[in-house]
Chain A
């Protein structure tokens, strides 16, 4: 098929004359890529390279060049006789507003030619008000229909970005991240799969240095991503990094300092201290159901005299003020032939949990070469070295967070800080008598901080080399090799005496993970003008991708020399290795045909061969789309400057998972010679690829001289053939089996509005609003199974699930039982009848996804000052506060201070429907409702609706004397998570107690996996303030 195009266009003649070289620049001296430069009156033409340069052989003395490019006004430029250079500036074509978008595989497209919606994020929005933990968190509120949550593991934690709703039941719902055309490894080393918790690992995206980002575009739909195949069904975040400029040397320096404070901590009572039933029991009693905190003197657990008085800030004071320093320098420069970009960034972050810190160095070198007129190369290498110390755990497990939350209300930080003594052989030993609410699990939080450590070291090298050969002016070939290798070393240290980990001598574990991704592609790109009005742009290529994962765990469960944390001291060293490899080979073709630069038809096709699948390993998918620039085709009122309508359909395939086709037996060490266990998952030799099908229609309009723009997109996506792991009757010998089934549908509408209501020389006001709603429906699972739990745990608080007829993320938990009339049941003693006691199945509590999301950025500019305010929010969805559930058992939350002496009348009925008027105490109620570790979720479920001022920045462009060497200087003051505008309330209106306002931040979750909607021992969100200085030389 390609040959047809070759024939059509093979008409260029050759001549011998001079060669004109030059550059084509647009506004702000940005190079114009792929502009057509032709000699008027001849067929001689060329296109500009990535840095805007061209060279063209011309004949004649004084010649006229015609320079044209989408988005710019076509211009003629005269080159006098004898001259061989031409530097041309093109003016923006305001009518075309040719925003350039980097799409799949790094292919640059004019946004008006696209048949689907994209959204661009300016780098300044990422580097302005930085989130110290992960660059992805900076997208909150800025991307339509994105739900961004943060795993609770401190700086470097994995983040979760879900575009257009959840669709995958057991695989990632995270958007694919593409850097310079190639998907990066964005796996997370460990995340919570239940409310018991885990260690939240770093993800791949957290290594991205925001200072190196040149542009970022969000491809929300499958059409946009059809060329990526695997996982692109979740949408794609396309990041293009900076490269060198030529002729001039530019230096940018950015320095930022941010301080962070714990925000949204649990609200606690400060009236009652240690004890039970209103009575002080003894110094070891961990619960705060005791007598009034009257300041009397008592003997504390340290056997010292102390006052029995409230410690209102003992939780707040435990967390320190975090700090984050970011310093980066970028140097860019070069010649016509070679350009270089160098950057170094240093991030030093101290988390709010004492001892938790991150240090990261990022070095980038990028060299672009124009080796000959036709051949150019681009090469880059980035090395990231990151150290994280003392990551806090997340969840109900032994995290310092849940430990400090459980501190008795009369114990001060100073008392708790005396967490150990050094025994007669020099070993730190816990005061065995810390007043824990559950001594088998929770202990002195200071012990956890200073005598345990979770450390993570990451070395990552990412590099690529690409070469582009301009075969003829309208056809080029680009070949690319991309390598991405991450070395992670995770270690765990527990001093002897740590609760849950108290192995003789202590515990040390070391995990080494090497992740390697190799990507090679070759892409042929062509542009042809078939007639004056009919043009075609096309790509065809081949991709080879190989991803490898190798993990070795070394565990020293018990150390021969106490508290010497090296594998050398292991009492019983244990080694376990695991790994996987997936290879994908693909052929693809994509073409965009345009008529009069106003009607566009777009199509893509891809064939994958995936090593996960059974022979012949192959599957195909495609996309088609069309769009019309109505404002160019029809005469519209003058007030409408641009109007475009698009429609597209796409399928994206995914090749399943590694190693599902056969039985495998794995070895584990143990008594005797160890054991061989057969995998408990039934082999799945008939594995089929998953397919996400999506349709999208959008309208884009700009009115009033482009002062107001609106894009509205409707979409519907159906995720089918999902690879689902389901329980199988264990008597088959297998606990789990796989099937390809399901149809999960997301439909929704996205609106993006940008406006410049005021635009004068001194004052400007820009407004950017996004609003989206998403409706998810589980249309079908399979004949065999109708409900699948996401994650597990032993039913501590709530569990999200996917159930036929419901929505993704419906959460089930135990409830306050109702009778058939809907009346709440209470026991004869007045306590609530809960379904966890009656042994009934868990009931639906709510869905964990928002129904609507919105964000609004207002930017005000006055002379050299600019003020930017981002307000965002979500409407709908339910989050269960497992933390409150746990603490309520021990009389800690603020609400538990009410009715200590009794008087709660739940107003319920007994099983016969007779009203029970017996009143109960707060202790009776909350103990029954909570159950501490296994509770009735319904009492602790909150509407997650919330609005907040997410970001605030005030910038000032320092006026500079034109003679000094600094070209630009900007200083800004920034704040993040400034204040709540509204927060949701608990879903149950409990008689006597009413509704409570949520105290936690629903954006902080146990982890960045699919187990969402439960807050349990999660770190508090943080509010940050800072200063940023940016200098350009």
Chain B
């Protein structure tokens, strides 16, 4: 009673107490508040095609990943380019783990989940499922060919440590997936799936079918030394089903090709550009002396497409791989005295001595190489030499490989093509700082003896794969028929003689050794040798 007198504003207090209780229990909106309004929480059928596009975009090396995933390693190891930047030691065979992880991580985070979502949602007999399956193989063959054993069968299936699997088992799965995808795609022939979301063929199932078979042929050659019997079976099945056969001249490198060649479309939007072009303006890489020796020697009609004349001299020059910091400072080795990558990959900032623009305005959207028709011909030519049934003679297939490559690079004049095929010109001394001799002595004209033929096939395949250094390096390690220059200097303590030793794999990632340590330890056993650059992969029997 007295109390009520003391609180003339009893109602106020009651309201306050009430509001406190109500106020603090208003958490029903919290779940919604904590969702990102700019992103999508649940994936449905409308979203799946966008996931497929993402997988296609990332697997061949997306914009900013390209340099650190591929250019500073495979592209140098296969001597398409030599490094100009003194601060990049990878050309002297140092492995920089912080960079090379760009060839590993995005495959698992930006390709695998996308493809697994499609596998989970799509009917296993659908074309979509098969296309995703082919892309799965494309993605992971590049990963395993860098490292050997990789996390594969258990990847993306939960858990905190993902075991590594041996390369032979992974390859067996590749062949299984490709055979199955080939069968399914054949059943869907003439159809279109994914349409404009398919950045390679615009949804054309027929060309995906050829792509699947061509990839199977590539992998068959890869295992031809370690497992010749299966290699023959896989290669013959692939060729019988039908591999890529026809390149189209590319008038506009940013447009989708009408030929069989696989390029993934790039755009000027949002760092989705061509990875090689991304490096155009940085003056960090130039033509290698190897390319200079061969292309100049052959007076190769693709040369003006592949490279630009050196700014200072106006001629096509390259430098040897593995120059020291000191050597790179010497005048013949500076960027302006060597050839920049060609117009398709050069921005308009690239000008000649007189300030005329050499690059192209749309080069950022130049399609990125995935697989070219010429490669299938060279694979068939090599298969023919191995006695496989490849639907043609080694020589015819070799010549068709060259012809298709020339067409793909817009050399459509038949007379020029014929002259090149019949050319007896040989590589020349590149005239570089180290006064290197000619890289090789073989002409273009197909030779008589098998050794010459194998080297010619390897060399022309190397030229036609340009600028896909990842495949070129894998093929070089497998065949060893291509005669590259020894790397000038090695900073890698495991490579003491660059005439006899090459980088044969990438050591397991430091990141993985930290985050997935037990799995990496077990993987070293699967590797069958120390976790070094000198340990060959399962298919590398050289």
A-to-B contact residues, CB < 8 Å: 6-7, 10-12, 14, 276, 281-282, 284, 287, 429, 432, 438-441, 469, 471-472, 477, 497, 499-500, 502-504, 522, 524, 542, 544, 555, 557-558, 571-572, 574, 576-583, 585-587, 607, 609, 611-612, 615-617, 658-659, 661-680, 726-735, 784-785, 787, 794-795, 836-839, 841, 889, 924, 927-928, 931-934
Complex Cα distance A572/B516, Å?
A: 41
Q: Which of B155-163, B166-174, B222-230 lies at the binding interface?
A: B155-163
Q: A524: nearest residue on chain B (CB-CB)?
A: B16
Q: Is the CB of B519 within 8 A of A676?
A: no
A selection of 14 A-B contacts at a CB cut-off of 8 Å is: A10-B2, A439-B283, A440-B281, A469-B12, A472-B6, A504-B347, A571-B268, A670-B267, A676-B43, A678-B117, A729-B162, A732-B156, A733-B109, A839-B491
Q: Is B535 an interface residue (CB 8 A)?
A: no
B-to-A contact residues, CB < 8 Å: 2-3, 5-7, 9, 12-13, 16, 19-20, 23-24, 26-27, 29-31, 33-41, 43, 47, 49-51, 53-54, 57, 85-89, 94-96, 98-99, 104-105, 108-110, 112-114, 116-117, 150-151, 154-156, 158-162, 196-199, 264-270, 272, 281-284, 325-326, 329, 331, 335-336, 347-349, 351, 355, 361, 365, 491-493, 510-512, 514-516, 519
- Greatest chain B CB density within 10 A among A504, A661, A735 is at A504
Contact of A733 among B30, B51, B108, B348 (CB under 8 A): B108
Q: Is the CB of A673 within 8 A of B269?
A: no
If A585-B24, A729-B151, A729-B162 touch, whether A12 touches B6 (CB-CB below 8 Å) is yes
Q: Is the CB of A838 within 8 A of B493?
A: yes
Majority-rule SS of A interface residues: loop
Complex Cα distance A664/B36, Å?
A: 8
Given contacts A572-B267, A731-B151, 8 further A-B contacts (CB under 8 A): A11-B6, A572-B268, A678-B114, A733-B109, A836-B89, A839-B94, A841-B510, A933-B87
If A439-B335, A672-B265, A678-B113 touch, whether A729 touches B519 (CB-CB below 8 Å) is yes
- Greatest chain A CB density within 10 A among B36, B39, B156, B266 is at B39
Contacts of B96 in A (CB 8 A): 794
Contacts of A276 in B (CB 8 A): 329
Q: Is the CB of A932 within 8 A of B87?
A: yes
Contacts of B105 in A (CB 8 A): 730, 735
Complex Cα distance A678/B115, Å?
A: 12
Complex Cα distance A732/B516, Å?
A: 10
Contacts of B267 in A (CB 8 A): 572, 669-671
Q: Is the CB of B40 within 8 A of A522?
A: no
Q: Is the CB of B3 within 8 A of A10?
A: yes
Contacts of A839 in B (CB 8 A): 94-95, 491-493
Complex Cα distance A617/B199, Å?
A: 44
- Greatest chain A CB density within 10 A among B89, B105, B196, B272 is at B272
Complex Cα distance A281/B20, Å?
A: 79
Q: A553: nearest residue on chain B (CB-CB)?
A: B270
Complex Cα distance A616/B25, Å?
A: 10
Complex Cα distance A924/B327, Å?
A: 12
Complex Cα distance A838/B490, Å?
A: 11
Q: Is the CB of B270 within 8 A of A669?
A: yes
Q: Is the CB of B491 within 8 A of A927?
A: no
Complex Cα distance A284/B312, Å?
A: 12
Q: A10: nearest residue on chain B (CB-CB)?
A: B6
Contacts of B23 in A (CB 8 A): 542, 544, 585
Q: Is the CB of A676 within 8 A of B86?
A: no
Q: Is the CB of B34 within 8 A of A576?
A: no
- In the assembled complex, how far is the CB of residue B130 from the closest CB belonging to chain A, in whole angstroms? 19
Complex Cα distance A91/B70, Å?
A: 79
Q: Is the CB of A734 within 8 A of B109?
A: yes
Q: Is the CB of A542 within 8 A of B329?
A: no
Q: A670: nearest residue on chain B (CB-CB)?
A: B272
Contact of A477 among B12, B36, B269 (CB under 8 A): B12
Q: Is the CB of B361 within 8 A of A665?
A: no
Contacts of B283 in A (CB 8 A): 438-440
Q: Is the CB of A727 within 8 A of B515?
A: yes
Complex Cα distance A14/B6, Å?
A: 10
Q: Is the CB of A662 within 8 A of B35?
A: yes
Contacts of A661 in B (CB 8 A): 34
Complex Cα distance A787/B512, Å?
A: 14
Q: Is the CB of A728 within 8 A of B87?
A: no
Complex Cα distance A679/B331, Å?
A: 47
Q: Is the CB of B24 within 8 A of A587?
A: yes
Complex Cα distance A282/B337, Å?
A: 13
Complex Cα distance A284/B353, Å?
A: 13
Complex Cα distance A695/B437, Å?
A: 75
Contact of B281 among A499, A577, A671, A934 (CB under 8 A): A499
Contact of B160 among A616, A659, A732 (CB under 8 A): A732
Complex Cα distance A64/B351, Å?
A: 95
Complex Cα distance A787/B89, Å?
A: 26
Contacts of B326 in A (CB 8 A): 924, 927
Q: Is the CB of A667 within 8 A of B16?
A: no
Q: Is the CB of A6 within 8 A of B24?
A: no
Complex Cα distance A471/B7, Å?
A: 8
If A6-B7, A785-B514 touch, whether A585 touches B270 (CB-CB below 8 Å) is no
Of all A-B residue pairs in the complex, the 3 with the closest CB atoms, nearest first, are: A731-B151, A670-B272, A729-B516
If A504-B348, A587-B20, A729-B151 touch, whether A281 touches B50 (CB-CB below 8 Å) is no
Contacts of A836 in B (CB 8 A): 89
Complex Cα distance A731/B98, Å?
A: 17
Contact of B33 among A472, A577, A581, A616 (CB under 8 A): A581
Q: Is the CB of A502 within 8 A of B281?
A: yes
Complex Cα distance A668/B57, Å?
A: 12
Contact of B268 among A441, A557, A932 (CB under 8 A): A557
Contacts of B159 in A (CB 8 A): 732
Contacts of A662 in B (CB 8 A): 35, 41
Q: A661: nearest residue on chain B (CB-CB)?
A: B34
- In the assembled complex, how far is the CB of residue A65 from the closest CB belonging to chain B, in whole angstroms? 22
Complex Cα distance A787/B515, Å?
A: 11
Q: Is the CB of A794 within 8 A of B33?
A: no
Q: A829: nearest residue on chain B (CB-CB)?
A: B326
Q: Is the CB of B511 within 8 A of A931?
A: no
Q: Is the CB of B160 within 8 A of A728?
A: yes
Contact of B53 among A472, A580, A663, A673 (CB under 8 A): A673
Complex Cα distance A787/B511, Å?
A: 12
- In the assembled complex, how far is the CB of residue B346 from the closest CB belonging to chain A, in whole angstroms? 12
Complex Cα distance A571/B37, Å?
A: 28
Complex Cα distance A668/B64, Å?
A: 15
- Greatest chain A CB density within 10 A among B30, B162, B283, B519 is at B30
- In the assembled complex, how far is the CB of residue A866 from the closest CB belonging to chain B, in whole angstroms? 50
Complex Cα distance A836/B57, Å?
A: 33
Q: B62: nearest residue on chain A (CB-CB)?
A: A670
Contacts of A668 in B (CB 8 A): 270, 272
Contacts of A578 in B (CB 8 A): 36, 38
Contacts of B95 in A (CB 8 A): 839
Contacts of B329 in A (CB 8 A): 276, 287
Q: B104: nearest residue on chain A (CB-CB)?
A: A730
Contacts of A441 in B (CB 8 A): 282
- In the assembled complex, how far is the CB of residue A814 from the closest CB belonging to chain B, in whole angstroms? 11
Q: Is the CB of A680 within 8 A of B98?
A: no
Contacts of A522 in B (CB 8 A): 16, 19-20
Q: Is the CB of B108 within 8 A of A730?
A: yes
Contacts of A734 in B (CB 8 A): 109
- In the assembled complex, how far is the CB of residue A473 from the closest CB belonging to chain B, in whole angstroms? 11
Contact of B27 among A503, A574, A616, A674 (CB under 8 A): A616
Q: B269: nearest residue on chain A (CB-CB)?
A: A669
Q: A680: nearest residue on chain B (CB-CB)?
A: B109
Complex Cα distance A472/B9, Å?
A: 9
- Greatest chain A CB density within 10 A among B29, B34, B349, B510 is at B34
Q: Is the CB of A667 within 8 A of B40?
A: yes
Contact of A664 among B39, B86, B160 (CB under 8 A): B39
Contacts of A585 in B (CB 8 A): 23-24, 26-27
Contacts of B282 in A (CB 8 A): 440-441, 500
If A471-B12, A676-B51, A839-B94 touch, whether A733 touches B43 (CB-CB below 8 Å) is no
